[in-house]
């Protein structure tokens, strides 16, 4: 019988092989797919510089000023 030629949600004709494999077009697929959570952003790991172009703290810094020896 083959792949469906019409969207299972709205009935429109499916144009691409990927849509026919899914059984629905990209718009209906996006509507029926559960929302994806936003990626977590960790402080200092955004890849952007701070105010006045300063970098964040260096996690590999070897200066232990607070550590009495």
Cα separation, 29 vs 15, in Å, equals 14
- How far from chain centre, in Å, is Cα 24? 22
Higher confidence at residue 10 or residue 3? 10
pLDDT in tens, 6-34: 999 999 999 999 999 999 999 999 999 88
Q: How far apart are CA 14 and CA 6, in angstroms?
A: 5
Q: State how far the Cα of 22 lies from the Cα of 7, in Å rounded to an integer.
A: 9
Average pLDDT of the segment spanning 37-41? 78
Alpha carbon 15 to its chain centroid, in Å, reads: 26
pTM of the model: 0.46
For range 1-10, the mean pLDDT: 84
If one compares 35 and 58, the residue with the highest pLDDT of the two is 35
């Amino acid at each position: 019988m083959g792949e469906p030629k019409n969207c299972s949600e709205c009935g429109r004709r499916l144009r691409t092989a990927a849509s026919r494999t899914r059984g629905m077009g990209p718009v209906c697929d996006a509507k029926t797919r559960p929302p994806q959570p936003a990626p977590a952003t960790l402080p200092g790991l955004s890849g952007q510089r701070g105010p006045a172009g300063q970098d964040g703290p260096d996690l590999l810094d070897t200066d232990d000023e607070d550590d009495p020896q």
